[in-house]
Structure 1
Amino acid sequence: MDQHISSPAEVRTFLQGDPRVIAPQILGAVLTHHSDAGPVSVRLTEVEAYMGPRDSENPDPGSHTFGGLTPRNAPMFGPPGFLYVYFTYGMHYCANIVCGPDGSPSALLLRAGEIVEGQGLAALRRPASKAHKDLASGPARLASALGLTTADTGRDALASPFSLWLPTTPAPAVASGPRVGVAGPGGSTDYPWRFWIEDDPTVSKYKAAKPRTRNTAG
């Protein structure tokens, strides 16, 4: 495993910036969850940046904060370094790390990574994964492999039972493009805020959002 900056204070200062700038720099970072079942660590290979409400300086129609503050998205309005975990499609958890200054909502969705510690535990949590590279390839798989649920939303990712170590050297080659599965303008090429390590086998496959159709029958 590469050397990393481990000071929580340094990491929190780093996360106070714009997530669109942080995203390519955080690739290669290692997030660890020390649960009762044991530790699992994931090296981040793909993330997406999300910004603020429609009335903010950086409105983002693809963000959960676009309509303003709600009980669900409240962690995104808090200080950097905390987790925002949400439940989607009635079956999946997805995890974000909050960025930006306190009160300025933005975050990075953790889309994919490589399990570098606790592979056995991650495999138990992801029995459908047939290969090591698939254990955390996709945001729901990543959250599941780490054992994250909405019970973890609002928790500090830089304090026990979590830790986040930043890479001391940048990823060798970083690509960017539209975000995955985001409906409407937020998923267009106007928002190329998905960043990934090129040619890394753990990066998820790109899927555009399916257009929503209205039922006119009746």
Structure 2
Amino acid sequence: MSDHKTIEPPNVEKPERLTRDFFERPPEAVARDLIGVTLLYEGVGGTIVETEAYHPGDPASHSFRGQTLRNSAMFGPAGCIYVYRIYGMHWCLNFVCLPGSAVLIRAFQPEFGMHEMLERRGDMAPRLLASGPGRLCDALGISGADDGKSLFEPPFELHANLEPKPVVVGSRIGITKAVTEPLRFGLEGSPFLSKKF
């Protein structure tokens, strides 16, 4: 009989994955609470540092005039993906909340899959890899084919923030309506933001 003993690894706290009830709330609350959450797409990604909230009564929202073929994912279940293209060249990633509302993911801090992100975006400073909605989608390899997918199934993973992060609030960027609404949220002091607050 062997006297070999198995040493169990210590308990390491792992961030829990977000669940649907996280998204079944107003987009302002979801947008704020997404700061510090880890976003992964096929294992590539990092910590979300900037978001914007959009709700059905918001004239800057794609859902303002009701459901269409283009924005139908915004009226899907909470926790699904709404992807759209701007300027005919950049994809934008949104997380659906309550019906007709969504959170635009504006920037994350690159942490996982740096090689893949650099291949997709070119040799550049990590600060610029995912600092802006279009850059973010390029870095992750997200396209219109992801529209309507669930955040709770591969290729997506969302891991909860274990510690509260200092959040700053300001007006949204790149819109012409409801421009003064304080619906942009960011990680205070982060060098990975698309634009300073």
Residue 151 (structure 2) pairs with residue 157 (structure 1): yes
Matches within 5 A, 1:182-193: 182-184=175-177, 186-187=178-179, 189=180, 191-193=181-183
Q: Partner amino acid for 1:112?
A: A
Q: Quote the Cα distance in structure 2 between the aligned partners of 1:201 and 1:94.
A: 21
Residue 174 (structure 2) pairs with residue 178 (structure 1): no
List per-residue Cα deviations over 1:46-74 (Å, max 9, x = no partner): 0000000xxxxxx1011001111111100
Q: Quote the Cα distance in structure 2 between the aligned partners of 1:107 and 1:29.
A: 16
Q: Does the aligned pair in 2 maintain the 1:4–1:29 contact within 8 Å?
A: no
Partner of residue 24, structure 1: 32
Q: Decide which moves more: 129-138 or 43-52.
A: 129-138
Give 3-state SS (helix, strand or coil) of 2:139's partner.
Answer: helix
After TM superposition, the score normalised by the length of structure 1 is: 0.81
Q: Quote the Cα distance in structure 1 between the aligned partners of 2:130 and 2:110.
A: 7
Q: Quote the Cα distance in structure 2 between the aligned partners of 1:46 and 1:11.
A: 20
Give 3-state SS (helix, strand or coil) of 1:13's partner.
Answer: helix
Q: Quote the Cα distance in structure 2 between the aligned partners of 1:40 and 1:132.
A: 14
Q: CA deviation at 1:3?
A: 4.4
Q: Quote the Cα distance in structure 1 between the aligned partners of 2:188 and 2:14.
A: 21
Give 3-state SS (helix, strand or coil) of 2:115's partner.
Answer: helix
Partner of residue 81, structure 2: 83
Partner of residue 214, structure 1: none
Partner of residue 212, structure 1: none
Q: Quote the Cα distance in structure 2 between the aligned partners of 1:200 and 1:206.
A: 9
Q: Does the aligned pair in 2 maintain the 1:180–1:206 contact within 8 Å?
A: no
Q: CA deviation at 1:42?
A: 2.2
Give 3-state SS (helix, strand or coil) of 1:5's partner.
Answer: coil
After TM superposition, the score normalised by the length of structure 2 is: 0.89
Which residue, out of 96, 100, 107, partners 2:102? 107
Give 3-state SS (helix, strand or coil) of 1:148's partner.
Answer: coil
List per-residue Cα deviations over 1:94-126 (Å, max 9, x = no partner): 1001112xxx21111000011110001001111
Residue 45 (structure 2) pairs with residue 41 (structure 1): yes
Q: Quote the Cα distance in structure 1 between the aligned partners of 2:14 and 2:176.
A: 38
Q: CA deviation at 1:206?
A: 5.7
Residue 188 (structure 2) pairs with residue 194 (structure 1): no
Q: Does the aligned pair in 1 maintain the 2:31–2:103 contact within 8 Å?
A: yes
Unaligned runs of 5+ in 2: 1-12
Q: Over aligned residues, Cα RMSD in angstroms?
A: 1.5
Unaligned runs of 5+ in 1: 53-58, 208-218
Indicate the percent of aligned positions where both proteins have the same amino acid. Answer: 40
Q: CA deviation at 1:89?
A: 0.1
Q: Quote the Cα distance in structure 1 between the aligned partners of 2:124 and 2:118.
A: 9
Superposition misfits of 4+ residues, deviation over 4 angstroms: none
Q: CA deviation at 1:168?
A: 2.3
Answer with 1 or 2: which has the greater Rg. 2
Q: Partner amino acid for 1:20?
A: E
The number of residues matched between the two structures is 185
Q: Quote the Cα distance in structure 1 between the aligned partners of 2:39 and 2:128.
A: 17
Give 3-state SS (helix, strand or coil) of 1:44's partner.
Answer: strand
Q: Does the aligned pair in 1 maintain the 2:45–2:108 contact within 8 Å?
A: no
Q: Does the aligned pair in 2 maintain the 1:3–1:167 contact within 8 Å?
A: no
Which residue, out of 66, 71, 74, partners 1:73? 71
